[in-house]
Structure 1
Amino acid sequence: MLTDYNIMRKGSRREVLLAVLPFIQFILLLIALQCALILLSGTAGDEAREAFRVRVIADSNTADAQQVKAGVAEGVSRVLGKAELTGPSSIEALIPEMAHAAEEVSGGAPVRVMYGTAFFPPKVVAGGMIPQARADSIVVTVGSGRGDNWWCALFSDVCEPGDVAAEEEETEEEPVTFFIVEWLKSMFG
């Protein structure tokens, strides 16, 4: 009579892992593709790359200095909104008017307005990504210019446009869904 004993198969766990590995790789590939699509979708990056930019630098990071900075940005925006910009010479001609408008709201702090090429860090705007680059811009410095920067893309009412901000408040955000999760829910739930 033969004794009973358990038969152990070598590599049974390995075989299961090798069978599941392609499925895991496929899921990871789908997740990576969806992340890439989310980061690269949108047209804001293309539009903003071509836009003229304004950089307003506050005197400091205090609340008063930030309010002055917002007023200066609004004054510069008004001047640029009224002007017809045809090239660099028309922008340079507006510098004294922009400086005057900025000094009116700066509370006595000196204001420097310079036109030229400035470095802009990468920025995500409306679903698109603007890569870091040097761009033609106006740099407005209030006082010592030791505050945080405010980067703007022009020709849509500088930054925070009133009409666009009102529209954004009215629209409800659609919940973010991932197609992989939805697909799995449809299969198993």
Structure 2
Amino acid sequence: MLYKRWKGRLLLFLAGFFAAVLFFSQAAAAGRIEDKVLRLHVIANSDSEEDQALKLKVRDQVLATLKPLLENAEDRSSSEAIVRAHLSEVEAAARETAWQEKPGENVHAELTNTRFPEKTYGDCTFPAGNYDALRITIGEAKGKNWWCVLFPSLCFVDTVHGVVPEESKELLKNVLTEEEYESLFTPGKSEYKVRWKAAEIWQSLFG
């Protein structure tokens, strides 16, 4: 009886322990990546077909404006500094595009820290977390949004075919640690490690 009680408590402890390890390991990995990338976030006025199409046109103009400016950016901090210095120019370009179809539409650009869900670009998955981002809002900004990674420059590549180009992967390698980089292409890697360790300890305790 005493053995069963002890065993039950041990199992509960182990379950809680490994859940905590998994949570904090994933949070730590996400936190490190958050500090090294800059994202772009474009929010449409509404979910109407017209507003969603306009969102993409504004996105294209913003990217066209930013691409030559960010070509020589070496890290997230320099990318943010460049965007900040040209923020009014970016906003003006976005507004001009929006006004071609909806004259007088409110368009605003700002640098902010915002929550992003897990997002996959081709074969690369960025974890959910709070990221610094250039946010473009159109009208009431109540529609579906679009986002990408400005630095390293994943916004400027085609990920439709399911893979991130090698050139972009090299950019990621230059700013992330090996573990951080591998975690982007192996979603749940931390979870697998913890489960394997849990199984190993379980085997040693109970055979």
* Preserved contact between residue 60 and residue 148 of structure 1 (Cα < 8 Å): yes
Partner residue in 2 for 1:7: none
Q: Distance in 2 between matches of 1:14 and 1:138?
A: 60
Aligned mate of 1:34, from 19, 22, 42: 22
Residue 81 of structure 2 corresponds to residue 95 of structure 1: no
Aligned mate of 2:136, from 139, 151, 154: 139
Q: Distance in 2 between matches of 1:75 and 1:124?
A: 25
Deviation digits for residues 88-116 of structure 1, max 9, x if unmatched?
34322343333334445xxx124433344
* Preserved contact between residue 61 and residue 93 of structure 2 (Cα < 8 Å): no
Residue 55 of structure 2 corresponds to residue 57 of structure 1: no
The Cα of 1:73 is off from its aligned counterpart by 0.9
- Residues 18-167 of structure 1: matches in 2 within 5 Å? 18-42=6-30, 43-48=32-37, 51=38, 53-83=39-69, 86=82, 88-103=84-99, 108-110=101-103, 111-116=105-110, 118=112, 120-121=114-115, 123-124=117-118, 126=125, 128-131=127-130, 137-141=134-138, 143-157=139-153, 159=155, 161-162=157-158, 166-167=162-163
What number of residue pairs does the alignment pair up? 168
The Cα of 1:151 is off from its aligned counterpart by 4.4
The Cα of 1:167 is off from its aligned counterpart by 2.2
Deviation digits for residues 69-89 of structure 1, max 9, x if unmatched?
123212211111123664634
Which one has the largest radius of gyration? 1
The Cα of 1:123 is off from its aligned counterpart by 4.0
Unaligned runs of 5+ in 2: 71-80, 120-124, 167-184
- SS of 2:151's equivalent in the other structure is coil
* Preserved contact between residue 58 and residue 69 of structure 1 (Cα < 8 Å): yes
Q: TM-score, normalised by structure 1?
A: 0.60
The verdict on how the C-alpha distance between 1:180 and 1:169 changes in structure 2, with shifts beyond 3 A counting, is farther
Higher helix share: 2
The Cα of 1:33 is off from its aligned counterpart by 1.0
Paired letter, 2:114: F
* Preserved contact between residue 115 and residue 138 of structure 1 (Cα < 8 Å): yes
Amino-acid identity (%):
17
Q: TM-score, normalised by structure 2?
A: 0.56
Partner residue in 1 for 2:200: 183
* Preserved contact between residue 76 and residue 102 of structure 1 (Cα < 8 Å): no
Unaligned runs of 5+ in 1: 1-12
Q: Distance in 2 between matches of 1:184 and 1:58?
A: 50
The verdict on how the C-alpha distance between 1:166 and 1:27 changes in structure 2, with shifts beyond 3 A counting, is closer
